[in-house]
Chains A and B, each alone.
Chain A
Amino acid sequence: MFRQASRLVSRSITAKSATNRAFSTEVPSTIDSSFVEAWKKVAPNMDPPQTPSSFMKPRPSTASSIPTKLTVNFVLPYASELSGKEVDMVIIPATTGQMGVLPGHVPTIAELKPGIMSVHEGTDIKKYFVSSGFAFLHANSVADIIAVEAVPLENIDASQVQKGLAEFTQKLASATTDLEKAEAQIGVEVHSAMNAALSG
Chain B
Amino acid sequence: MAMSILRREGRRLLPSIAARPIAAIRSPLASDQEEGLIGVRSISTQVVRNRMKSVKNIQKITKAMKMVAASKLRAVQGRAENSRGLWQPFTALLGDNPSIDVKKSVVVTLSSDKGLCGGINSTVVKVSRALYKLNAGPEKEVKFVIVGEKAKAIMFRDSKNDISLTVTELNKNPLNYAQVSVLADDILKNVEFDALRIVYNKFHSVVAFLPTVATVLSPEIIEKESEVGGKLGELDSYEIEGGETKGEILQNLAEFQFSCVMFNAVLENACSEMGARMSAMDSSSRNAGEMLDRLTLTYNRTRQASITTELIEIISGASALEAAK
Contacts and interface: CB of A to CB of B under 8 A. Distances in A.
B154 to A, nearest CB: 16
A109 interface: yes
Contact of A49 (B85, B213, B237, B238): B213
A35 B213 CA distance: 11
Interface string A34-73: 1100110011001001111101100100000000000001
Nearest to B136: A42
Given A51-B215, A138-B92, A139-B237, A95 B98 contact: no
Given A73-B85, A96-B242, A99-B241, A49 B211 contact: yes
Contacts of A162: none
Range of interface residues on chain A?
35 or more
B38 interface: no
Interface string A72-86: 010111111001000
B241 A32 contact: no
B28 to A, nearest CB: 43
A53 B133 CA distance: 23
Contacts of B211: 49-50
Contacts of B238: 107-109, 136
B87 to A, nearest CB: 6
B120 interface: no
Contacts of A109: 93, 238-241, 249, 253
Contacts, number: 138
B242 A110 contact: yes
B243 interface: yes
Interface string B214-232: 1100000000000000000
Interface string B101-119: 0000000000000000000
Nearest to A81: B85
Nearest to A57: B88
Contacts of B243: 95, 111
B204 A95 contact: no
A9 interface: no
A43 B126 CA distance: 9
Contacts of A138: 92-93
Contact of A144 (B92, B98, B249): B92
A196 interface: no
A158 interface: no
5 contacts: A31-B98, A43-B130, A51-B214, A75-B89, A77-B177
Given A77-B83, A77-B86, A134-B89, 12 more contacts: A27-B204, A49-B127, A51-B214, A52-B96, A52-B212, A77-B263, A94-B242, A95-B241, A96-B242, A108-B240, A109-B240, A113-B242
Interface of A: 25, 27, 31-32, 34-35, 38-39, 42-43, 46, 49-53, 55-56, 59, 73, 75-80, 83, 94-96, 99, 106-111, 113, 133-134, 136, 138-139, 142, 144, 146, 148
